[in-house]
Amino acid sequence: MTEFEFVVPLPEEEYRSFVAGLTHCNFMQKDMWAKVKTGWTGVLCGLSREGEIVAAAHLLIRRLPTGQKLIYSPRGFLLDYSDKDILDRFTSEVRGYAKSIGAYMVRIDPEIVLSRKYKGEAEDDVGYNALELLKNSGWKHMGFATDFHSYTQPRFNAEYPLVRDGQP
């Protein structure tokens, strides 16, 4: 059986090192993002396997007027969504942490590509598989609204690659 260790707070150096090794990380998962968000505090957490970080997240925490807390991981978690063991364990650990600090909900909006309109590409099976694994891990999918007001962050994103095939 694989031995995992959940680390919270994860030291900034370890988090930054993990993020630096990713092919894509949204700026909202950078550890400095909490410093620009009014009314939110942030904590870094990670999951290690055999001493190596395999999942991480920047958890933003907001205390509501009711005294309850909300945890939001913008464009997170940072992990391999095709690895069910890592996803299930990280989900479980984050939920446990949320309960321990009195949070009533954890919200994520991971960057999972479901379709592409670049070079004639269409649906992305990897993305749909990740979505199914998230649902199987207990996450509730909020649907596919087409307006910009139904979600915490816009669902539709446009990117312009500045580097193609390794060339600027």
pLDDT (tens digit, 9 = 90+) per residue, 118-127?
555 555 677 7
Q: Tell me if 162 sits within 8 A of 168, measured CB to CB.
A: yes
pLDDT computed for residue 123 by the predictor? 58
pLDDT by residue (tens digit) across 92-108?
999 999 999 999 999 99
Q: Tell me if 53 sits within 8 A of 18, measured CB to CB.
A: yes
pLDDT computed for residue 104 by the predictor? 92
Q: Tell me if 152 sits within 8 A of 105, measured CB to CB.
A: no
pLDDT computed for residue 153 by the predictor? 56
Q: Which homologous superfamily is 4-136 in?
A: Gcn5-related N-acetyltransferase (GNAT) (3.40.630.30)
Question: Domain boundaries in the chain?
Answer: 4-136
CA gap 48, 153 in Å, rounded: 28
pLDDT by residue (tens digit) across 121-167?
555 677 778 888 888 888 887 777 666 666 555 555 555 566 666 56
For residue 90, is the peptide bond before it cis, meaning its omega torsion is within 30 degrees of 0?
A: no
